[in-house]
Amino acid sequence: MSIDLSVKFTGLQMENPFLLSSAPPTESESNILRAFEAGWGGVVTKTIGMHPVVNVAGPKTKFLRYYPEQKSLSMNKGRNGVLQASWNWELISDKPLDWWVPRLGRIKKAFPQRTLVASIMAGSGSDGELRAWQTLAKACQDEGADALELNLSCPHMDRPDMGSNIGKDSELVSVVTQAVKDVARVPVWAKLTPATGDIVVEAGAVFRGGGDAVSSSNTFPSIPLIDPETLEFEMNVDGRVSSGGLGGPAILPQALAMMSQMTRAFPDASFSGIGGVSDFGHALNYFLLGCGTVQVCTAAMLDHAVGPNVIARLLEGSRAFFDKHADRGWHGFDDIRGLARNRVVSHAQIRRPESADYRGGYEQEGYAEQ
């Protein structure tokens, strides 16, 4: 059999399972078209809303790097350091729905075989807000969006009934998901926040509300470091900062831990993995834990905004992997999905040493040589 990188996810046939996630790289028609030209199997738009949005003054995204010679972490010392993470406090799209509608139609007509996912967000505090979700859903699917991704996870929305404030409330998660499903003719994915006590609870709420998939996770709530020389936050407006979202390499292990919790709890459900991916080795973790697709943001932002080299690496790495393991009968992602899922167990299930070999801690005090 020949290698086949295509997947079927929530009923959608995709050329490959790699998507640009909803973020600054997908904020414009031109970027999305360039992303499809580069080879991404799908794109999730910057989140579209009904409410006026005005971003903070000054930069909205920066990248945290480690500088070995100085033994320092900073967002402000150039690209010579080793990338650790991205940080942003950018809100959802500041373009209104009527700006997005014709552009969604043009994008879909230009690339009818690629998967266009519309990220949408409204509130949850009233029937009017739930109708806003439905208005957004109908407008986007009418223009050809193949799926809808519900933003239940933005980490820096001040309103108590929006973003991650919904995603931390399982009842609201179900209510919003059901409201969209009532009008949706396309699959509905829900993007969850990691800022919760037990993400499995919210994932269950998505599926109880009729959702077709969970995307996880959004960025982790965080603040920038304080510059030890100036005593100012490295990213601020008039000396002030608020919560933003941490992404990139630093969150990969944490995002995987949350994904493994959900895929073990719901082994037959659909999941799209997000967090820390820049090459196939990173993405492979998500597939082995049970994901059907993988989304990328930080690595793409640093590669011509839409990641042409990133998607090339992902596709090349995929082909090399399946070519290497062809003797196992692995020719595509369906053959490996979830293979490592059940190897994540409770701590009590990890083998302990035989009693004769266990001396109750360390022979020397501490870890350093005496």
Cα 97 to Cα 49, 121, 145, 147: the distances in Å are: 7, 11, 14, 16
Phi, psi of 74 (to 5 degrees): -160, 155
Strands (E), 223-359: 244-247, 271-274, 293-296
Contact of 38 with 299, CB cutoff 8 Å: no
User: Which of 140, 154, 291, 297 is labelled catalytic?
Assistant: 154
Residue 91 DSSP label: -
Assign 184 to helix, strand or coil.
coil
Chain centroid to CA 295: 6
Concerning whether 154 is annotated as a catalytic residue, the answer is yes
Bridge pairing between strands 82-88 and 61-67: antiparallel
Spatial contact of 141 and 185, defined as CB atoms under 8 Å apart: yes
How many alpha carbons lie under 13 Å from residue 263 in its C-beta half-sphere?
Answer: 30
- The contacts of residue 281 (CB under 8 Å, 6+ apart) are 317
Q: Do 294 and 272 meet the contact criterion of CB atoms below 8 Å apart? A: yes
Contacts of 195 (CB under 8 A, 6+ apart): 155, 164, 167, 168, 220, 221
Cα separation, 298 vs 255, whole angstroms: 14
Query: Coil, helix or strand for 202?
Result: helix
Q: What amino acid positions are annotated as catalytic residues?
A: 154
